[in-house]
Amino acid sequence: MAFAPKLASVPTIAVRAPAGTLTVEIFEPAAAGARPLPGVVLLHDLLGLGDEIRRVARLIADRGYLVAAPDLYSRRSRVRCVVRQVGEVMRARGETFDDIDATRRALADLPGCGGSIGVVGFCQGGRFALLVAGTGDYDAAAPFYGTPLPPKIEQRLTGVCPVVASFGGKDPWNPRGTAGPQVRDILERLDVEHDVAVYPEAGHAFANRYPAQPVLRVARFGYDDAAAADAWDRVFAFFAAHLRR
C-alpha cells in the first residue's frame, strides 16, 4: 500500500493572530455542489502540516465540508513549537489556542462556510481539539488519540460540545488504556452527547498513513486499516448529525 501520496498544491490564506500571521490551507470538495458548507478545523499532529494531513483534509472535504488546516508551526521551528505547546496544553491557554481560534474565525468568514464548525485533531492536535471543544465555539469535536490526556480534563470539558473520540488500545502514550474510558465517563457525567471508541489492537497514529509502517508498528504506532475505517465512519455519521442540522 502506498502511504501519504504527494498532493497537488492547495489554496492558502494568511491569518492574523495575536502572535503574528500563520498559514492556513483551505480544502473544498472536489465535486461541485451546493454551498455554503459546514466547516472543519483540522489540527495536525507533532509532525506538522504535511502531505498526510493534507490527505486527511481532502478526505474530510470530499464528504462535503470546507476544511481549514492551520500550520501551527508557521512562525518557529517544529522543536520550539512542540516544547511550547506542551506547556500550553498543561495550562489550557497560550499562543496555539489563539492560532486555532483565529483559524476558526477565518474559516467562519469564508463565503463558502455555512456557520456550523467542527474540529478534528490527531495526537497533539487531538489534545488541542479536546480542549477547544470546551470553549463553546464548536458544534462537534473529533479528537483522535489525543494522548496523554491533558491535566484537569474534566474541568476543561465543562461546556463541551458533542464529542466523537477515538483511541488505540495499544497506544504507548496511553499505557494503562484509561484515556478512552475516562473521556467517556466525563462526558456521561456532563450529559454531553458522545461516541467514544477504543480499538483494542490499534496503537497510536492508527488513522495516519505515514511511511516506515513496519518500524512504527514495533513501537506500537502505525496505520490500522480496520480501525481507521470504522473511526471515520463514526466521525462522518456524528458530524452529519451535528454539523448539518
At residue 177, the pLDDT reads 86
* 64-89 pLDDT per residue, tens: 999 999 999 999 888 888 889 888 99
Average pLDDT on 211-233 reads 76
Q: What is the pLDDT of residue 189?
A: 97
Confidence band of 6 (pLDDT split at 50, 70, 90): very low
> Is the pLDDT score of 211 beyond 80?
no
Least reliable range by pLDDT among 80-94, 134-148, 162-176, 203-217: 203-217
% the chain with pLDDT above 90:
77
Q: The domain 12-243: what is its CATH number?
A: 3.40.50.1820
Q: Integer distance in angstroms from the first to the last C-alpha of the chain?
A: 37
> In sequence order, which residues have a C-beta less than 8 Å from that of residue 97 and are 6 or more positions away?
88, 128, 131, 132
Q: Taking a C-beta distance cutoff of 8 angstroms, is the pair 84, 33 a contact?
A: no
Mean pLDDT, residues 176-199: 96
Burial category of 8 from C-beta neighbours within 10 Å (exposed 0-12, middle 13-18, buried 19 and up) = exposed
Q: Which pLDDT tens digit goes with each residue over 136-161?
A: 999 999 999 999 999 999 999 999 99
Query: What is the structure's pLDDT at 215?
Result: 39
| Mean pLDDT, residues 227-243 taken together | 98
